[in-house]
Structure 1
Amino acid sequence: MTRQEKGLWATVIVLTAGVIFMGSWMLFSGGGSIEGIKQFKGTSPAVASVQDKAITEDEWVGELKKRYGRDVLMTMLNRRAVALEASGRGLDISEAELEAEFERMSRSYGSKERFVAEMESQLGIPEEELRHETVYRLLLEKIATADIEIDQHQIDEYLKLHPDQYRPKKQVDISVIEVATLDEAEQVLDRLEHGENFADLAQEVSIDEYTRDYGGRIGLVEEDDPFQSQALLETATLLEAGDIAGPIRLEDTYGIVYVHDVIEPPTLSEESIREAVRKQLALQQAVSLSELEQQLREKYEAKIFAGVLP
């Protein structure tokens, strides 16, 4: 995942927290009765209790407002200001644009399904919320670059200077068992050939403290990942899913590699590459997206009233 994408997901996490808060607010401020909630004289309904001490709806919502209130309100103001600007400019995000962006974001994960699953399992962001946040970001980027012209010559020059940036790279999903000596590596291979489980062996004998507790699992890496042993990658990229190979001479140790999966990303079309470069160059000239949000809030006179937040 690129640095820019990591920044995006950090933003998404904050916004998702806001969505959770809003859901809670809507559920418990609507005035409807909820079975099992006790009404106390002179207070709001109780939503929970510890022994005989109730936690009231007002206490709960007040705590949520203290923790997330400003973020939620700023998110709502941003969304409305951006929507007004997009409407005024006649801008929108098509389903095709959204799917193309999902394809781009999924590239380093091997598939859209794997990407969506990782976002939900690692960050707790379901696909529907992921789509909403992506549409919003794309719309903000479209507004930011609407008045910036990038000519074909600029795109040609960029591609000449960065010929490999959009070349799809093979990825391998691997696990490794690292041991100190060649003799130990041969013993590991012999045990694997006799049917022992790779992950169990890694936990038992691997000296790699970063992967040992995870059964040797490194995960999905690109063929030229600078943080992995080149000897390890050169071997792994020649294998097929399910293959085990070794011993591989690392720096001062030896490794046995197991390939879970091999992913060959599809080649991008020339049109897609040029559009990606155009957008990248335009964004480099544009104001930052957070600055644009601020400008739009000011343009549409967004404000938070005094006394609303604790």
Structure 2
Amino acid sequence: MPKQKLRAIIAGLALLNLLTIVIFVIKPLIISKSVIGEETVAKIGSTDISREAWINELEKRYGEDVLEEMVDKEVVKQAAEKYKVKTSDEEVDRELKMMKTMYGTAGQTLNKSTDQLRQEIQSSLLLEKLLTKDVSVSETAMQKYYDDNKDIYRIPTTYHISHITSSTKKQADQIINELEKGVSFAVLAMEKSLDEFTANQGGDLGYISQDNEQVSKEYITAAEKLKVNKWSGPVETDEGWAVLYLHEKIEGNQYTYDEVKDQIHRQIALEQIQSPVSGKIFWDELDVEWFYGLKEQK
């Protein structure tokens, strides 16, 4: 997956987070504006900050970006229906696997569900197909692109792992004993793991590939033997001991030319047209009216 697409998807997910915040804040306001407007969300000495002032600040900072994201998603959806452009589950699955294995710590950094990631990828694919639907790329050029960039279309076997670290095997055994009694792995990681950075994430290390040199080889060896949604026995490392939990395993694969031919066509076509990967190109066509900030524009 091209890096610019990763950035676009990550930016989209960030905006989705902001949208969620705004929805949960503004919904009560719509129901009871007079009450909410007077509600205090913070006090500094004798000075109050009202919920209404907070909402206004959120809208001022993020409102335009969030609204534009919402408009773009609907524009892409309607344009795809108009031009009969579709994506398959297979395409989305492949892009998702490539995203996870390439980005590495996606689980930890994005903290988004698989459904949310799939929706973002599907929208991104539809937009790319719409922008490149009339661009011609020769078979020779696509085959050469594949031959020159085969590594892009290879995913290594990858594991989504969480861990709880300890200084002794005895402590690791105690952690396993608590897991067997039904205590949540994430809760134990937050309470007991010596790795402060991942402890705050419930021990989540993200997606780790077999060829990742930054992770202990003992982790990969242990993960290879684990079943999904199971934890390991005590794993000895150079820093001490650890207990691992396997969330997901992605089998390695080298995608063939035929499998990624359409993806290559889009990539080359996007480079040829040199236009921003944005749904704005369809705004006029779909009669978008923009009233943000009391100004109307097309």
TM-score (norm 1): 0.59
Three-state SS of the structure 1 residue aligned to 2:268 is helix
Query: 1:143 is matched with which residue?
Result: 130
Q: How does 1:161-200 map to 2 (within 5 A)?
A: 161-172=148-159, 173-175=161-163, 177=165, 179=167, 187-188=168-169, 192=173, 196-197=177-178
- Where do 5+ consecutive residues of structure 2 fail to align? 41-47, 101-106, 180-184
Q: Partner of 1:263: helix, strand, or coil? A: strand
1:247 counterpart residue number: 236
Offset of 1:144 from its aligned partner? Answer: 1.9
Residue 92 (structure 1) aligned to one of 84, 87, 101: 84
- State the AA in 2 paired with 1:102: V
Structure 1 residues 304, 224: closer, same or farther in 2, change over 3 A?
Answer: same
RMSD, matched Cα: 5.0
- Could you give the per-residue CA deviations for residues 250-281 of structure 1, whole angstroms, max 9, x where no partner exists? 4xx45545353562437556532222333333
1:4-58 superposed Cα distances (whole Å, 9 cap, x missing partner): 32431322332564577579879977xxxx6xx5xxxxxx75445349x9x798x
Q: Which residues in structure 2 correspond to 1:31-46 (within 5 Å)? A: 37=32, 45-46=34-35
Contact 2:232 2:245 (C-alpha < 8 Å) held by counterparts: yes
Counterpart CA distance in 1 for 2:292 and 2:162 is 55
The residue type paired with residue 220 of structure 1 is: Y
Indicate yes or no: 2:64 matched with 1:70: yes
In structure 1, the residue corresponding to 2:294 is in which secondary structure? coil
| Shift in Å, 1:293 | 4.1
- Cα distance in 1 for residues equivalent to 2:94 and 2:226: 25
Maintained 8 Å contact 1:86/1:143: yes
SS in 1 for 2:150: coil
Give the conservation status (yes or no) of the 8 Å contact 1:170–1:263: yes
Q: Read off the aligned partner of 1:236 and give its amino acid letter.
A: A
Distance 1:178 1:295 in 2: 54
More displaced stretch, 144-153 vs 1-10: 1-10
Q: CA deviation at 1:62?
A: 5.7
Q: Which amino acid aligns with 1:235?
A: T
Which residue of the partner structure matches residue 260 of structure 1? 246
Q: Residue 285 and residue 80 in structure 1: after superposition, are their counterparts in 2 closer, same or farther (change >3 A)?
A: same
Q: Counterpart amino acid of 2:169? A: V
Aligned counterparts of 1:190 and 1:73: Cα–Cα separation in 2: 50
Match of 1:103 in 2: 93
Give how far 1:68 is off.
4.3
Does the C-alpha gap of structure 1 residues 205 and 103 become closer, same or farther in structure 2, counting only changes over 3 Å? Answer: closer
Unpaired runs of at least 5, structure 1: 38-43, 111-117, 180-186
Instruction: Specify the SS of the correspondent of 1:228.
Output: coil
Partner SS, residue 60 of structure 2: helix
Quote the Cα distance in structure 2 between the aligned partners of 1:201 and 1:306. 45
Equivalences for 1:196-211 in 2 at 5 Å? 196-197=177-178, 206=194, 208-211=195-198
Percent identity over paired residues: 20
Which residue number in structure 2 is paired with residue 184 of structure 1? none
Tell me how far apart the structure 1 counterparts of residues 293 and 14 of structure 2 sit (CA, whole Å).
27
Q: CA 1:203/1:221 → structure 2, altered by over 3 Å: closer, same or farther?
A: same
Check the 8 A contact 1:168/1:266 in 2, yes or no.
yes
DSSP-derived class of the 1:149 partner: coil
Cα distance, 1:108 vs structure 2: 6.0
Q: 1:288 to 1:13 in 2, by over 3 A?
A: farther
- Give the distance between the partners of 1:130 and 1:194, measured in 2 at CA: 32
Q: Distance in 2 between matches of 1:145 and 1:98?
A: 17
Instruction: Report the number of matched residues.
Output: 267
Greater C-alpha Rg = 1
Distance 1:281 1:146 in 2: 12
